[in-house]
Structure 1
Amino acid sequence: MTAPLTPPHRPSHQPSHQPSHQQSPHDSAWPPPYPSGAAHAGEAGEAYDADDAPDVATEVRQGALVLLVVTLSGIALGLLWLWLAPRIPLVSDGEAVFLKDTEGEGAVGADGTFVLLALGFGALSAAVVFWFHRHGGIAVVVGLALGGLLGSLLGWGVGTLLGPTHDVAAHARAVGAGVTFDAPLELHAQGAVLAWPVAAMLVHLALTAAFGPRDPEPDWNTTPYDAPPPPKDAPG
């Protein structure tokens, strides 16, 4: 009779562990201080900035375009102010010019109309600028604010220029005594020109805070490190 052969697939019972002094350095070394995901997060942030944020030259061109368009829209403000502002009736007796309605509030109404229109133009311009330039930028914001101020001044000039003449005495002589005519359209509260830029800044800030792009969150790798397994011949 012959002894049974050991199956080739059966593992040997001889100890084959490696001594601790010959252990591979990759098994005993500590993991790197920073996870590999941190480098990936940095690369992702750089890609986000490069794709979404324009360069300085592009941002300056966008700010200049915003400044030009918002300023020119002041022409519409002046035309609307001329159309909607209440009139101040005057009358002449041949020697002097008087207010026909001494209790009228036409001057206050003209200022109030300009302020309301300027507030509306400020909100509208801020919404349009945010729609086309959602990323914002200092140049765009400065162009919006400065354009609102220049647009208010332009609207003021257009309204007073196209309105009734400022030569009240000549106008009174031309229409004759006892004939009612309109007083010049004037803006007595000159601080009203700030309504447009202030409204534009507030609305643009609110839109940016609510719907503006967010900075990419860092991809922190919270996976705990796996400790290297202890040697097989260690006690316990």
Structure 2
Amino acid sequence: MTDQNTDADGGSGPSPEPGSGQAAPVPLSKSAPEPLPEPASPPEPEPLSAPLPGHPAEAADAPVRFSRELRTDLLLGLALIAGSAVLGLLMGLLWERVAPKVPLYADTSDIYLSDPEGEQAITADAYFAIIGAVIGLLLAALAYWRTRARDVGVGVPVGLALGGLLGGYLAMRLGVHLGPSSNIIATAKSVALGKTFYGPLAVTANGVLLAWPGVALVTLIVLTRIFSPKPSAPETLWAQPLSQASPERSDTP
């Protein structure tokens, strides 16, 4: 057997002989270990797009925002009133055309109803209410559709109510003016005795004037109730961790 050589320090094992098939030991590296990578810094929180409630910036912007919303509501209300006035004139023209008139005839002593059991006056009131209700429904639907992107303020309902009253009044006055003359005696003298003529067109039930604004307000409430998005709960910006919450007291000693 051959002698086993040791290295100069005496700490290594026997050196393998050439051809013995044993792998040579790999010397340990004495260089310094590589530094560990630095941990990634956490991302900075993004600034809030809107100031928190009670923030000085929000408090300073509140009067400006209130003034802007008030001006918008005022313009919407005035636009609805002006549009209702125009629609009221068109309603008066239509009502005078479709509403039945009360037939009359006269002799040498008095003026009589040609159809004593007729319901022309009630039918005229019904036509007035129906036309006004249809206009109020369509106008309220249009107002909601145009303002659905913003919160409905006081301008829309007030404009619909006042505009409906104004439009109904103008329609009544125009229809009466365009209809037969209100001077029945003069009209009876202008026609031959016993010949039928028509009495003045009139609204006998003043409650029909409320059909337009009433239907408009009900339509606006229903559309707002059905199609407006429901208010969501405010986003929680901070909550106390459960581990720091105070433990519940036990009733048992």
CA distance in 2, matches of 1:76, 1:102: 31
Residue 75 of structure 1, aligned match among 89, 97, 105? 89
Question: Could you report, residue by residue, the CA deviation over 1:190-232 in whole angstroms, capped at 9, with x for unpaired residues?
Answer: 111111111100001111111235545422369995979xxxx
Is 2:122 aligned against 1:108?
yes
Percentage identity across paired residues of the two chains: 34
Structure 1 residues 137 and 220, CA gap change in structure 2 (3 angstroms) = same
Match of 1:15 in 2: none
Letter in 1 for 2:220: H
Q: Does structure 2 conserve the Cα–Cα contact (< 8 Å) formed by 1:107 and 1:188?
A: yes
Name which of 124, 139, 156 aligns with 2:172. 156
1:187 partnered with 2:188: no
- Structure 1 stretch displaced more, 94-103 or 148-157: 94-103
Give 1:114's aligned amino acid. Answer: F
1:197 counterpart = 2:192: no
Alpha-carbon offset, residue 5 of structure 1: 4.5
Q: Secondary structure at the match of 2:200?
A: coil
Among 149, 153, 156, the residue aligned to 1:140: 156
Q: AA paired with 1:143? A: G
Instruction: Report how many residues are paired.
Output: 200
Instruction: Kindly provide the amino acid, as one letter, of the partner of residue 77 in structure 1.
Output: M
Match of 2:39 in 1: none
Q: Which has the higher contact order (CA 8 A, sep 6+)?
A: 1
Aligned partners of 1:94 and 1:173 also within 8 Å: no
CA distance in 2, matches of 1:165, 1:2: 135
State the Cα deviation string for residues 163-204 of structure 1 (Å, max 9, x = none). Answer: 000001100110121111111101010111111111100001
Q: Is the contact between residue 91 and residue 181 of structure 1 (CA under 8 Å) also seen in structure 2? A: yes
For residue 18 of structure 1, what is the aligned residue in structure 2? none
For residues 9-28 of structure 1, what are the structure 2 equivalents within 5 Å?
Answer: none
The one-letter amino acid paired with 1:80 is: L
Which letter maps to 1:179?
Answer: K
Partner Cα distance (1:124, 1:10) in 2: 78
The amino acid that maps onto 1:98 is Y
Aligned residue runs from structure 1 range 29-178, under 5 A: 40=48, 43=51, 55-134=69-148, 135=150, 136-178=152-194
Contact 1:94 1:176 in 2 (8 A): no
- Name the structure 2 match of 1:24: none
Q: Secondary structure at the match of 1:90?
A: strand
So what's the TM-score if we normalise by structure 1?
A: 0.73
- Residue 21 of structure 1 is matched in structure 2 by none
> Segments of 4+ in structure 1 off by > 6 A?
none
Q: Which residue type is aligned with residue 183 of structure 1?
A: G
Q: Secondary structure at the match of 1:95?
A: coil
Query: Which residue identity lines up with residue 174 of structure 1 in the other structure?
Result: S
Please report the TM-score for the alignment, with normalisation by the length of structure 2.
0.68
2:104 corresponds to which letter in structure 1?
L
Higher Cα Rg, which structure: 2
Partner SS for 2:105: strand
Q: Note the C-alpha offset of 1:84.
A: 1.4
User: Which residue in the other structure is 2:251 paired with?
Assistant: none
